[in-house]
C-alpha cells in the first residue's frame, strides 16, 4: 500500500537533494522483482484503467514467523485482491478472491533460473491459493488464474509476506481497527476487547490472520477483517500524520521496498512513484471493497471447506469491473450519460426480415459465425443472413459496418444482437453473394455467443461491499 503515498514520496525524495540519488539507489536495491512471464498486459499505463493484483502469501519466512501455522508452506496465494482503478481515477474497486475458491489453474509458462521456460501443467478444480507456490508456480501463474476466472488481465502484481503487515503498520505508527465483540483466538494469537484499537507489528499480523473468532469462522470472514485492515492502512497512509512527517514517510518507503516483491515492469522507485501518483488521485470514499460472489461447494458434503463461483452474480461483478463501472455512487450519473456514439442508435428501425447481413468471424470461438446465422434465422426472423468465414484481420471488439442508407437495418440488428453504440461503424457496405448490398457484422474476441448481449453495464450489481473511508466493526 506504499503506492498511495506516491505523490508525497516523490516530494520527499526530491527534498533530500544531494543525498537523494544515493537514497533512491538504496531503495532500488531493496526491491525484489520477478518476471510476469508474459501473463500481464505489459505494465500499467497512465491513460488507461489500472488493474493491480495484490497477493499475500502464507510463507513463514522472517523473524518470528515460523510459529504461525504451516511452517513448511511454500508460499501459497492466501490473500488475493484485484485492485481496479478507473480510467479517470475517480474510483476504484478492490475485489477479494477467496483462497478456498475452486478454480481451474491454467498452464503456466515460467522462466527458470537458467533462462529457459518451463510450462507448469494446468490443474482443474483446485483451490485458488495453489496458483502460487504449488508445483513451483510463480506470481505469473496467479495472474493467469485471475484472467481465467474473471476475464481481466492484471497489469502488474505485488506480493507481500507476513513481514509486510508487521513492518508497514509499525512504520506508520499503527492503524485503527474495530471489533464488535471480544476476541481471544489461540490460533492467530489475537486477543483484543470489543471496540477500537490501534494495532501494529505482531498484533496487526494476528488481526489479518484471524478467522475462527469472527463471522462464520472461515476464510470469507477473515476476508472482511483484511478489507477493514487495508482500509485503515490506506487512511493512515493518506492522513496528515503520515504525509507531513518525512521521517515516517521514509520509514514506510524502507519497509515497503524490503517487504514487497513486484513484477519486473515496476521494479524501481521511479516506476513505483509513477504508479503511486496515479493511485494517489483516488479519494478513500471512492474505493470499494467487495468479494467474488460464491456458494458452498456441493462436492464437500456436510463439512464445508471450499466454495465455488456463484454463476448468477459473479459474472456481473466481473463484467462491471471490465466495463470500468464504479461500485460507489461517484460519477454514477456521469457514467450513465449518453455519448456521441450513442446517437448512432437513434432513429428508425427496419423490420427484421429486411435486414441483410454478412457475418465474419474476427476472433470469436470457432463456429460462432454459423451459430449467429442459425440463431438469427431460426429465432429472430432474419432470413437474409449469411456467414462468410474468417475476417482478414482479428478484432478485439465486435463491429457492425453499414452504408448511410442501411442505418435502419444496422440499428435493428444492433437491437437484436445487443450491440453497444461503440460497435456501430458507419461507412460503407459490401455486396453479398447475390450482388445485393449487405451490412457487415464481424464477431470479435468479445463475442460470447448468439443471444448474449455485448452492451456494457452502466451500473454495478448489488453485492456486499464497503468503502475505505469508513470503519466497520468486525463481529
Where does 280-398 have alpha helices with state H? 314-322, 332-335, 368-379
Three cell numbers at 445? 474476441
- Position 5 scores a pLDDT of 47
Alpha-carbon gap, residue 81 to 307, rounded angstroms: 17
pLDDT tens sequence across 335-390 = 444 556 678 888 999 999 999 999 999 999 999 999 999 999 999 999 999 999 99
- Position 390 scores a pLDDT of 95
Residue 59: pLDDT over 70: no
Q: What is the mean pLDDT of residues 45-54?
A: 93
- Position 417 scores a pLDDT of 92
Q: What is the pTM of this model?
A: 0.78
Rounded percentage of the chain residues whose pLDDT exceeds 70: 89
Alpha-carbon gap, residue 209 to 56, rounded angstroms: 11
Rounded percentage of the chain residues whose pLDDT exceeds 90: 49
Nearest alpha carbon to residue 345 among 418, 417, 421, 403:
421
Q: What is the mean pLDDT of residues 264-272?
A: 88
Q: Are 401 and 439 a contacting pair, CB within 8 Å? A: yes
Long-range contacts of 129-132 (CB under 8 A, 24+ apart): 129/58, 129/76, 129/77, 129/78, 129/80, 129/99, 129/100, 130/76, 130/77, 130/105, 131/77, 131/103, 131/105, 132/55, 132/57, 132/75, 132/76, 132/77
Nearest alpha carbon to residue 149 among 218, 44, 59, 77:
77
Beta strands, E only, 371-415: 385-390, 399-402
- What SS3 class is residue 145? helix
- Is 351 exposed, middle or buried, given 0-12, 13-18 or 19+ CB atoms closer than 10 A? exposed
- Is 297 exposed, middle or buried, given 0-12, 13-18 or 19+ CB atoms closer than 10 A? middle
pLDDT grade, residue 73 (50/70/90)?
low
pLDDT grade, residue 164 (50/70/90)?
confident
- Please, which residues have CB within 8 angstroms of residue 406's CB and are 6 or more apart in sequence? 429, 437, 439
Q: What is the mean pLDDT of residues 165-188?
A: 89
Q: What is the mean pLDDT of residues 405-429?
A: 90
Alpha-carbon gap, residue 136 to 130, rounded angstroms: 10
β-strand partners of 102: 127
Q: Are 449 and 370 a contacting pair, CB within 8 Å? A: no
- Strand 123-127 and strand 102-105: pairing? antiparallel
Question: Maximum CA pair distance of the chain?
Answer: 80
> Over the chain, what is the mean pLDDT?
85
18 or 158, higher pLDDT: 158
103 or 343, higher pLDDT: 103
Nearest alpha carbon to residue 137 among 56, 51, 74:
74
Alpha-carbon gap, residue 177 to 195, rounded angstroms: 8
- What SS3 class is residue 368? helix
Three cell numbers at 200? 501494529
Amino acid at each position: 500500500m506504499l503506492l498511495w503515498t506516491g505523490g508525497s514520496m516523490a516530494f520527499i525524495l526530491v527534498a533530500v537533494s544531494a543525498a537523494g540519488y544515493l537514497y533512491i539507489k538504496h531503495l532500488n536495491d531493496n526491491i525484489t522483482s520477478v518476471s510476469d512471464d508474459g501473463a500481464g498486459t505489459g505494465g500499467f499505463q497512465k491513460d488507461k484503467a489500472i488493474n493491480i493484483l495484490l497477493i499475500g502469501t502464507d510463507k513463514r519466512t522472517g523473524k518470528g514467523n515460523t510459529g504461525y501455522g504451516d511452517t513448511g508452506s511454500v508460499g501459497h496465494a492466501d490473500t488475493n485482491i484485484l485492485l481496479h482503478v478507473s480510467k479517470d481515477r475517480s474510483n476504484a474497486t478492490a475485489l477479494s478472491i477467496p483462497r478456498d475458491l475452486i478454480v481451474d489453474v491454467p498452464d503456466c509458462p515460467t522462466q527458470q533460473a537458467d533462462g529457459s521456460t518451463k510450462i507448469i501443467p494446468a490443474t482443474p478444480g483446485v483451490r485458488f491459493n495453489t496458483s502460487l507456490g504449488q508445483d513451483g508456480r510463480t506470481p505469473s501463474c496467479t495472474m493467469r488464474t485471475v484472467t481465467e476466472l474473471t476475464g481481466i488481465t492484471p497489469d502488474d502484481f505485488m506480493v507481500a509476506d507476513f513481514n509486510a503487515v508487521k513492518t508497514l503498520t509499525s512504520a506508520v505508527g499503527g492503524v485503527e481497527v474495530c471489533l464488535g465483540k471480544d476476541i481471544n483466538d489461540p490460533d492467530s494469537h489475537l486477543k483484543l476487547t470489543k471496540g477500537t484499537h490501534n494495532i501494529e507489528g505482531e498484533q496487526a499480523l494476528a488481526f489479518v490472520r484471524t478467522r475462527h473468532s469472527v463471522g462464520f469462522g472461515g476464510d470469507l470472514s477473515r476476508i472482511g477483517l483484511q478489507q477493514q485492515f487495508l482500509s485503515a492502512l490506506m487512511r493512515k497512509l493518506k492522513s496528515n500524520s503520515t504525509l507531513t512527517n518525512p521521517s515516517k514517510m521514509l520509514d514506510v518507503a524502507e519497509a515497503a521496498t524490503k517487504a514487497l516483491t513486484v513484477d519486473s515492469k515496476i521494479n524501481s522507485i521511479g516506476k513505483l512513484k509513477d504508479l503511486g501518483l496515479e493511485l494517489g488521485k483516488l479519494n478513500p470514499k471512492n474505493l470499494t471493497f467487495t468479494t467474488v460472489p460464491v456458494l458452498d461447494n456441493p462436492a464437500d458434503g456436510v463439512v464445508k471447506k471450499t466454495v465455488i463461483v456463484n454463476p448468477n452474480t459473479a459474472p456481473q461483478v466481473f463484467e462491471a469491473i471490465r466495463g470500468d463501472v464504479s461500485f460507489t455512487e461517484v460519477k454514477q450519473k456521469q457514467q450513465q450519460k449518453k455519448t456521441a456514439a450513442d446517437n448512432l442508435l437513434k432513429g428508425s428501425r427496419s423490420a427484421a426480415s429486411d435486414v441483410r447481413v454478412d457475418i465474419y468471424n474476427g476472433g470469436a470461438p470457432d463456429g460462432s459465425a454459423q451459430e449467429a446465422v442459425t440463431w438469427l434465422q431460426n429465432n429472430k426472423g432474419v432470413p437474409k443472413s449469411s456467414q462468410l468465414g474468417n475476417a482478414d484481420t482479428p478484432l478485439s471488439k465486435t463491429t457492425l459496418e453499414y452504408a448511410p442508407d442501411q442505418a435502419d437495418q444496422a440499428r435493428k440488428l444492433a437491437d437484436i444482437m445487443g450491440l453497444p453504440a461503440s460497435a456501430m461503424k458507419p461507412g460503407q457496405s459490401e455486396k453479398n453473394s447475390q450482388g445485393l448490398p449487405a451490412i457487415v457484422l464481424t464477431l470479435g474476441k468479445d463475442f460470447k455467443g448468439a443471444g448474449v448481449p455485448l452492451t456494457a453495464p452502466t451500473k454495478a450489481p448489488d453485492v456486499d461491499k464497503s468503502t475505505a473511508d469508513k470503519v466497520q466493526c468486525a463481529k
